[in-house]
Homo-oligomer: A and B are copies of this chain.
Amino acid sequence: MFDKQTYISRRKALAEKMKSEGGIIVFLGNVDAPAQYSNNPYKWRQDSTWLYFFGIDEPRYAAVLDIDSGTETIYADDADIDDVIWNGPTPSVAEYAATTGISRTASYRDLEMAVGMAQCSGRKVHTIPPTRYYNKIRLSQLSIWEPSVPLVKAIISMRLVKTPEEIAAIDAACDLGREMHVRARKGIRPGRIEQEIVGEMESVALSKGWGVSFSTILTQHGEVFHCHDHSAAIESGRLLVIDAGVESNCHYASDFTRTYPTGGKFTPRQKDIYDIVCDCNNAAFEMIRPGISYREVHLAISRLMLERLSCLGLVRGNVDDMLSQGVAGLFMPHGLGHNMGLDVHDMEDYGEDLVGYDDDQKRSPLLGLGSLRMARRLVPGNVITDEPGIYFIPALIAKWKEEGKCSEFINFSALESYRDFGGIRLEDDVLVTEDGARRLGSRRLPIESREVELAMEADLAGN
C-alpha cells in the first residue's frame, strides 16, 4: 500500500474529472472466491480498481464517493469475536479507512441505503463493469444495471499513465519475474515433466510475491497460446515456450515470455524463425516513443516479419498487399502487446476497446491485428508489453488452405514441413519514457539466440 496521500490525490483527481457528470461513484471491493467450497476460497485477491483508489487489501469493503459534495464513505464491518478466533485480531474499519485518508465509515449493508437514496433522488450512480460473479450479484442487489462509460474513461485516463511509485513497483515485479524465468530455464532437461518446472518456478513467485500474475504457460506446443496442460515430458529437439509473470506483494504484474531449445541448442530451422521473432521484438522496442501509435508499431513488425518469412520462402508477393489482406495473422494471430499494471492485461474488464483504442481508432477485423489490445498513441508513463511471435498452427493452416485464403501469398506446401514446429514468442515489458522507452526490470532476460544457448550451457555446467 502506498502513502495515504496517493489515494487521496487519486480520488480527488477522479472526482474532478467526473464533476460535470455529478452523482455518486460506487466502488465494490472483492469478497473471497470459492474454490472447492464456499469456505475454502482461492488465494485472496483484491479488486484492482479498488486497490488503485483505496489500497485496503481486505475482503468485503465498498465505498461511495459523492462527486457533488466531495464526501467519501467506506462501507465494511468490524470483526466479531469469532472472526478474531479464526482469523486473528485485525484493525478496525475506521483504522483501515484512516490508512486511505477517509474518516466516514458505515456498515457494509448500509451501502444499499446510500445507493437507494441517490437513486430515489434521481442522482446518477456510476460504477465500473464488475469482474467477479459475486459483484455482478451485488450490483443487481443494488439495482445498478449499467456501468458508467464516463467513469470508465476517466479511470482509464488515469491508470494508463503510471506514476513514479507505480513504475518502481512494476520494476520490482519485473525483477522478481526475471528471477522466476531464470529458475525455470535452469530446470529444462529432456525427460523432466513440464509440471515439475512449473512448480519450481512458481515457488519464486510465492516465496517473494503474491504469486503468478496469470496461469503459467509452459509448453512445447507454443502454437497453442494458452496451453495450461503441463503433463508432457520435455523432449529433446523441441521448443519450450515459457510465458509467465509474477504479481508482487503490492499487486503489480510482470509478464515475460522466452522460448528455449529443449536440448540447449537451436536447430538451424528453429534459429531461422527464432531470430526473426527476436529481431521483431528489438525493432518494436526501438520504435516505442511518445506520439507513435502502438497500432503503427504492430503493423511495422508485421511487415518485418513478412519480409523475413518471404526470405525463407514461406510467403511470397507484395508485402503491402500481404499486410492489407492480413497474411501476418496466419503466423501471429495475436496483437503485439497490451497494457500492464495492477492487472497483467491492465483494466481489461473495462472493455478492451475503451482501454486500448483512442477515440479516433477503430479495431481491425483482421486476424492478429484484430486481437491487438493496445493500439493507442503512446504517452510517457504507458507500460506495455512487446511480444511478437511466430506460430505454425496446424488447424489454422488447414483452414486457410481449405478456404484458399490468401493462397496467392502463402506457400502452403512449404508450410507442410513446419507442422510439428510449434511456436515462438518473445516478450518484454516496456515503459514509455519522455523521449523513448525503457525495458522494465533492472536486467533483461537473455534473448538473442546465441545468448540463450550460452546461458543454457552455463545452467548445465551448474553456474
Residues of A within 8 A of B (CB): 33-45, 48, 81, 84-89, 131-134, 136-137, 195-200, 202-208, 213-215, 221, 224-229, 231, 249, 333, 342-345, 347-349, 393, 395-396, 399
A214 engages B40 (CB within 8 Å): yes
Please measure, in the bound complex, the distance between the C-alpha atom of A132 and the C-alpha atom of B42, giving whole angstroms. Answer: 11
Complex CA distance for A34 and B202, rounded to whole angstroms: 19
Chain B residue at minimum C-beta to C-beta distance from A399: B81
Given A33-B33, A40-B344, decide whether A85 and B225 contact each other with a Cβ distance below 8 A.
yes
Q: Is the CB of A199 within 8 A of B205?
A: yes
Does B35 contact A48, Cβ atoms closer than 8 Å?
no
Q: A215: nearest residue on chain B (CB-CB)?
A: B43
> Is the pair B214, A89 in contact by a Cβ cutoff of 8 Å?
no
Residue in B34, B86, B136, B195 whose beta carbon sits within 8 Å of that of A131 in the complex: B34
* Known interface pairs A131-B37, A133-B133; A87-B227 also in contact (CB < 8 Å): yes
CA A25 – CA B343 in complex, angstroms? 39
CB pair B36 A42 closer than 8 Å: no
- Cβ-defined contact, A85 with B45, below 8 A: no
State the Cβ distance, A457 to closest chain B Cβ, in Å. 25
Q: Across the interface, do A227 and B88 meet the contact criterion of CB distance under 8 Å?
A: yes
A206 is contacted by which of B134, B198, B344 (Cβ under 8 Å)?
B198
Contact residue among B35, B132, B208 (Cβ-Cβ distance under 8 Å from A199)? B208
**A206 partner residues in chain B, CB cutoff 8 A:** 195, 198-199, 202-203
What are 7 A-B contacts with C-beta separation under 8 Å? Answer: A33-B132, A36-B48, A86-B224, A86-B226, A87-B225, A87-B227, A132-B133
Q: In the bound complex, how far is the Cα of B33 from the Cα of A322, in angstroms?
A: 39
Given contacts A203-B200, A206-B203, A395-B89, contact A45 B37 (CB under 8 A): no
Bound CA–CA A85/B222 (angstroms): 11
Report yes or no: B133 in contact with A85, Cβ–Cβ below 8 A: no
Task: List 15 additional A-B contacts (Cβ < 8 Å) besides A44-B215, A87-B225, A199-B205.
Answer: A36-B48, A36-B213, A40-B344, A40-B348, A86-B224, A132-B133, A133-B136, A136-B137, A195-B206, A195-B208, A197-B207, A198-B206, A199-B206, A199-B208, A202-B202
Let me know if A35 and B42 touch, CB within 8 A: yes
Tell which of A34, A38, A45, A215 has the most Cβ of chain B within 10 Å. A34
Q: Which of B43, B44, B132, B224 contacts A88 (CB 8 A)?
A: B224
User: Are A36 and B40 within 8 A (Cβ)?
Assistant: no
